[in-house]
Amino acid sequence: MELSHPKVGSRLLGKVLGVSTFTVLLCFASLIKIPLFFTPVPVTLQNFVVLLAASFLGARLGLISVGSYLAMGIFGVPLFANAGSGILYLFGPTAGYLFGFLFATWLVATLLRSVDRKNFFVCYAVMMIGLLSIYFTGGMWLAIGYGWDISRILYLGVLPFIAGDIMKAFVATLICQKIK
């Protein structure tokens, strides 16, 4: 097919719009944050958007969307926690969670391709696995880069976020099932 063929052009436009939409949503989700006085990791809506991007865009386009968000932050747009940006930010305490967004996007999209998406509980379990992967990469970064032990990681890097993330995964699953 030629690139000028209407179907090829409209599919390409749809992909570009999808990636752009989720990149912008992730940027806005990063700006909506609730700082917690006892941890350097704030509450945001980013996990929610990452789950949606994975379920709607798939692995390849989802990674492009999340990667675009990360690239914008690296190149100076203040999108990271506490209005941070730049390459040095990727050595801060929330860097593991940011890299976890990439892994979770790939993981959720890949798992959703191989399960019955009509089954709410299966889709919800996939979303929760995605969240656990973000916690894991964030926790590993805190352990390796900051020397945190497992109890500190759990109390400051995981437990304060579980209730909100359970709700985010629930809503992401509902949206995924209603629209797709």
Which CATH number is associated with domain 19-179?
A: 1.10.1760.20
Most confident of 1-15, 85-99, 121-135: 121-135
Locate the domains of the chain by residue range: 19-179
| Cβ pair 92, 103 in contact under 8 A | no
Q: What stretches of 44-119 show up as alpha helix (H) in DSSP? A: 46-74, 95-113
Tell me the pTM: 0.91
3-state SS assignment for residue 76: coil
Alpha carbon 101 to chain centroid, angstroms:
4
Tell me the two tokens of residue 28.
């806005």
- Give the tens place of pLDDT for each residue, 22-46: 999 999 999 888 989 998 888 999 9
Nearest to 81 by CA among 109, 101, 64, 62: 101
111 Cβ neighbours under 8 A, 6+ residues apart: 126, 129, 130
The tokens for 3 are: 């690139």
The residue among 117 and 49 whose pLDDT is bigger is 49
CA-to-CA distance for 165 and 80, rounded, in angstroms?
18
The DSSP bridge partners found for residue 80 are 84
